[in-house]
């Protein structure tokens, strides 16, 4: 059943409290049953968080009949493992039946996975890796502030996960941007998997959040409904400009005498005999055996929610064509396109639709023009990339287009797992990384991202584009803005020649249309093909000229769309003769590897040589570094020549 409080009331009525107590018994039963049925899962924290969840769902604005209604408040469970508690409370509120949950929990293909996922009606975000949910909640809360929406955000967290450093990054963001629509609930049961939080890594949460600028409130009686209601209500109505954390003192395994305060029950379900005792203690019938029987039925998929579909209609604006006779960095192409998108879509006086996030690199990633045009849409999150990537992912799901930009080493390598979680969540994030590859030059190996493809290939829902010049950059940036889903665009640091047609005009002119999975033949050739992309494209054009002067006809194929790959173009190249792949990337994990895979899958066996980065880069000029690794025009030409014999 559902219970709806009136937040104007300063306290709960006796009837409401009585109802909560009844709901608690039913939910506790489901928590115990579901985990014992699955023979896995996390009953202890589910029981300690249960009262918070029950009160929260009575307080917040939500509608089981319309789980994605725009005005709903958000509940993000950073502790994804307390799914039994969450599903129990959602069932209680009518999101689905107890039957669906108990039969499906932790079964392949069902709608009730082991860590909370947004396929479950009422669940907002897929979580599981600890310490990440607050970033999500902060991203949502910030989006609502930008949009002037009244939605509130609650984030339920564990106390163990407070150890994670990403949390202080999220806290600082919330404080800096005055996100008073955010309430953090910490389930302070003092236990984590390996024992007492005070033994594992002691800390005072009130001091941590309070010291960083939150209004930090300790709720001493974390299973007292009146105390919970009063604290949560005050936070819910807070308009002070200061976000709230409630450190709620609870008991692991609350309500089952022999489970209380035992770390073991963090992740262990009860065996059948102990379950029987627990159900007796709750005063409910033991129908374990019946449910066990029912779990032999095939799983139902009826409750499964599809990914969120809202995405704003975006005008790409007028393409900017960079002259053929001038060098321009792709970064500037990005910055100008982003400004163009803001001009075409962000109406002055209205909430911005195009938003941008960076980490102390606004100038380097060329977001300055955008920042000036749409100040409310630009977030400076400091040197806090883990949080920034996660928060940007959450923002991108609130009917706005979010660009996250920093250097490749941070946007890709440092936040690999945060973007993995974004990918699980079907976010609409546009990750635009500058400073990828050896092109970074003198700053050396720590700043040279040579694994952007090698890493991004491990996701299933990110597209990857690496443009070769500012014109192609402009078109790709405008294109991805119009598209839902996750997209990655990478580019180097240096100014680069405009790629031209044979007639000397810009190859990527105003008429160029981006088609994912479509490569471009910059030049056709009869004897062999160089497949390339990004910063080394001019070197490949130079190699082609060297070979032409030596009487060889070599094509250059620009594979700017790397995921998806133009497999047909690879096959076409294979039909012509030898292939040399050239990239500013680890030689074994980038385009060369993708081409090898495509060829093997298609049963094609042309001669293939893969040029790329074969050792960590040095500190020096890009030209010197390229030469050192055989990626300059002359070396590329020599490699092709060798294959041609």
Residues in 174-203 that interact with a copy of itself by CB under 8 A: 176, 192-194, 199-203
99 scored as a contact of a copy of itself (CB under 8 A): no
Shortest spacing between CB 132 and a copy of itself, in angstroms:
9
Shortest spacing between CB 593 and a copy of itself, in angstroms:
6
Angle at 530 between CA 525 and CA 532, to 5 degrees: 130
Integer Cα distance of 536 and 635 in angstroms: 12
Shortest spacing between CB 562 and a copy of itself, in angstroms:
12
Binding residue for a copy of itself (CB under 8 A) from 61, 147, 163, 286? 163
Instruction: Name residues contacting a copy of itself, limited to 121-140 (CB under 8 A).
Output: 126-131
> Which CB atom, from 387 or from 478, has the smaller least distance to a copy of itself?
387
Binding residue for a copy of itself (CB under 8 A) from 66, 258, 616, 634? 616
Integer Cα distance of 541 and 633 in angstroms: 8
Could you tell me which of 49, 45, 266, 263 has the C-alpha nearest to residue 156?
49
Integer Cα distance of 214 and 221 in angstroms: 21
CB–CB of 469/602 below 8 Å? no
> Which CB atom, from 248 or from 361, has the smaller least distance to a copy of itself?
361
Alpha helices by DSSP H, 425-566 = 452-456, 470-481, 537-549
Binding marks (x or -) toward a copy of itself, 512..541, rule CB under 8 A?
------------------------------
Integer Cα distance of 363 and 367 in angstroms: 6
Binding residue for a copy of itself (CB under 8 A) from 21, 109, 272, 285? 109
6 scored as a contact of a copy of itself (CB under 8 A): no
> Which CB atom, from 207 or from 501, has the smaller least distance to a copy of itself?
207
Binding residue for a copy of itself (CB under 8 A) from 9, 18, 25, 600? 600
Binding residue for a copy of itself (CB under 8 A) from 62, 190, 233, 447? 447
Instruction: Name residues contacting a copy of itself, limited to 398-437 (CB under 8 A).
Output: 409-410, 413-414, 416-417, 420-421, 423-424
At 69 the three-state DSSP class reads coil
> Which CB atom, from 69 or from 383, has the smaller least distance to a copy of itself?
383
Q: Stretches 9-17, 113-121, 391-399, 543-551: which one binds a copy of itself (CB under 8 A)? A: 113-121
Binding residue for a copy of itself (CB under 8 A) from 364, 482, 483, 545? 364
Shortest spacing between CB 414 and a copy of itself, in angstroms:
4
Integer Cα distance of 324 and 280 in angstroms: 80
634 scored as a contact of a copy of itself (CB under 8 A): no
> Which CB atom, from 130 or from 400, has the smaller least distance to a copy of itself?
130
> Which CB atom, from 207 or from 524, has the smaller least distance to a copy of itself?
207
- Per the listing, tokens 């039969």 go with 103
CB–CB of 475/512 below 8 Å? yes
> Which CB atom, from 500 or from 594, has the smaller least distance to a copy of itself?
594
Instruction: Name residues contacting a copy of itself, limited to 143-162 (CB under 8 A).
Output: 160-161
Q: Stretches 107-115, 275-283, 463-471, 634-642: which one binds a copy of itself (CB under 8 A)? A: 107-115
CB–CB of 78/155 below 8 Å? yes
Instruction: Supply 304's token pair.
Output: 């499964």
- Per the listing, tokens 């996960």 go with 161
> Which CB atom, from 284 or from 643, has the smaller least distance to a copy of itself?
643
> Which CB atom, from 172 or from 327, has the smaller least distance to a copy of itself?
172
Instruction: Name residues contacting a copy of itself, limited to 232-271 (CB under 8 A).
Output: none
Integer Cα distance of 3 and 380 in angstroms: 40
CB–CB of 221/227 below 8 Å? yes
568 scored as a contact of a copy of itself (CB under 8 A): no
331 scored as a contact of a copy of itself (CB under 8 A): no
Does the N-terminal peptide bond of residue 564 adopt cis geometry, omega within 30 degrees of 0?
yes
> Which CB atom, from 476 or from 608, has the smaller least distance to a copy of itself?
608
Integer Cα distance of 337 and 343 in angstroms: 10
Angle at 242 between CA 241 and CA 248, to 5 degrees: 145
> Which CB atom, from 44 or from 255, has the smaller least distance to a copy of itself?
44
Instruction: Name residues contacting a copy of itself, limited to 37-76 (CB under 8 A).
Output: 38, 40-41
Cβ within 8 Å of residue 553, ≥6 positions away: 525, 526, 527, 547
3-state SS, 588-632, equals: CCCHHHHHHHHHHHHCCCCCEEEEEECCCCCCCCHHHHHHHCCCC
Instruction: Name residues contacting a copy of itself, limited to 452-481 (CB under 8 A).
Output: 454-455, 457-458, 460
Instruction: Name residues contacting a copy of itself, limited to 569-598 (CB under 8 A).
Output: 586, 588-589, 592-593, 596-597
482 scored as a contact of a copy of itself (CB under 8 A): no
Could you tell me which of 219, 220, 268 has the C-alpha nearest to residue 246?
219
> Which CB atom, from 93 or from 409, has the smaller least distance to a copy of itself?
409
Instruction: Name residues contacting a copy of itself, limited to 291-310 (CB under 8 A).
Output: none
Secondary structure letter of residue 576 according to DSSP: H
Instruction: Name residues contacting a copy of itself, limited to 381-400 (CB under 8 A).
Output: 381-384, 386-387
228 scored as a contact of a copy of itself (CB under 8 A): no
Number of residues that bind a copy of itself (CB under 8 A): 106
Q: Stretches 45-53, 106-114, 244-252, 334-342: which one binds a copy of itself (CB under 8 A)? A: 106-114
> Which CB atom, from 213 or from 319, has the smaller least distance to a copy of itself?
213
Q: Is 235 exposed, middle or buried (0-12, 13-18, 19+ CB in 10 A)?
A: buried
Beta strands 579-586 and 528-532 are: parallel
Shortest spacing between CB 169 and a copy of itself, in angstroms:
4
Could you tell me which of 248, 193, 238, 220 has the C-alpha nearest to residue 51?
248
| Helix or strand (DSSP H, E) at 188 | strand 182-188
CA torsion 284-287-292-295 (nearest 10°) is: -80
């Amino acid at each position: 059943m559902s219970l709806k409080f009136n937040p104007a009331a300063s306290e709960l009525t006796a009837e409401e409290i009585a109802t909560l107590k009844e709901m608690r018994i039913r939910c506790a039963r489901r928590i115990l049953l579901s985990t014992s049925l699955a023979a896995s899962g996390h009953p202890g924290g589910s029981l300690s968080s249960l009262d918070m969840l029950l009160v929260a769902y009575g307080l917040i604005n939500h509608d089981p009949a319309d789980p994605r209604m725009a005005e709903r408040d958000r509940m993000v469970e950073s502790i994804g493992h307390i799914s039994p508690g969450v599903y129990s409370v959602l069932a209680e509120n009518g999101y689905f039946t107890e039957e669906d949950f108990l039969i499906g929990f932790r079964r392949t293909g069902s709608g009730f996975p082991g860590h909370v996922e947004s396929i479950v009606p009422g669940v907002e975000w897929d979580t599981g890796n600890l310490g990440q949910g607050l970033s999500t909640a902060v991203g949502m809360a910030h989006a609502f502030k930008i949009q002037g929406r009244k939605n509130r955000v609650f984030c339920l967290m564990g106390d163990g996960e407070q150890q994670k450093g990403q949390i202080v990054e999220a806290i600082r963001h919330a404080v800096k941007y005055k996100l008073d629509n955010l309430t953090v609930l910490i389930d302070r049961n003092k236990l984590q998997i390996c024992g007492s939080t005070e033994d594992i890594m002691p800390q005072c949460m009130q001091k941590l959040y309070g010291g960083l600028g939150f209004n930090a409130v300790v709720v001493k009686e974390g299973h007292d409904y009146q105390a919970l209601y009063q604290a949560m209500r005050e936070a819910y109505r807070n308009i002070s400009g200061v976000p709230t954390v409630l450190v709620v003192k609870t008991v692991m395994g609350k309500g089952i005498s022999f489970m209380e305060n035992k770390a073991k029950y963090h992740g262990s379900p009860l065996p059948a005999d102990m379950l029987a005792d627990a159900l007796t203690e709750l005063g409910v019938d033991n129908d374990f055996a019946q449910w066990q029987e029912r779990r032999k039925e095939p799983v139902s998929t009826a409750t499964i929610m599809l990914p969120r579909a809202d995405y704003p209609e975006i005008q790409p604006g007028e393409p900017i064509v960079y002259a053929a006779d001038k060098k321009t960095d792709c970064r500037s192409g990005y910055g100008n396109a982003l400004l163009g998108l803001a001009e075409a879509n962000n109406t002055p006086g209205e909430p911005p639709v195009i938003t941008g996030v960076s980490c102390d690199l606004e100038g380097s990633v060329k977001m300055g023009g955008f920042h000036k045009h749409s100040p409310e849409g630009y977030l400076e999150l400091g040197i806090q990339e883990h949080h920034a990537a996660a928060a940007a992912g959450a923002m991108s799901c609130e009917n706005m287009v979010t660009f996250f930009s920093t250097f490749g080493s941070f946007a890709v390598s440092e936040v690999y797992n945060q973007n993995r979680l974004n990918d699980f969540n079907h976010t609409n994030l546009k990750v635009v990384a500058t400073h990828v590859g050896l092109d970074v030059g003198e700053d050396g190996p720590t700043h040279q991202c040579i694994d952007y493809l090698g890493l991004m290939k491990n996701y299933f829902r990110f597209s990857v584009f690496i443009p070769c010049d500012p014109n192609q950059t402009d078109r790709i940036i405008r294109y991805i803005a119009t598209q839902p889903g996750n997209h990655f665009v990478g580019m180097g640091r240096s100014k680069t020649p405009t790629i031209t047609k044979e007639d000397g005009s810009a190859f990527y002119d105003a008429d160029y249309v981006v088609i994912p999975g479509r490569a471009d033949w910059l030049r056709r050739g009869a004897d062999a093909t160089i497949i390339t992309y990004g910063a080394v494209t001019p070197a490949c054009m130079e190699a082609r000229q060297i070979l032409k002067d030596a009487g060889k006809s070599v094509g250059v194929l620009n594979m700017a769309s790397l995921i998806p790959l133009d497999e047909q173009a690879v096959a076409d190249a294979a039909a012509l003769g030898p292939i040399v792949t050239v990239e500013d990337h680890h030689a074994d994990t980038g385009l060369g590897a993708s081409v090898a895979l495509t060829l093997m899958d298609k049963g094609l066996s042309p001669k293939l040589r893969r040029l790329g980065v074969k050792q960590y880069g040095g500190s020096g000029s890009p030209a010197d570094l390229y030469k050192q690794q055989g990626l300059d025009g002359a070396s590329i030409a020599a490699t092709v020549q060798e294959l041609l014999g």
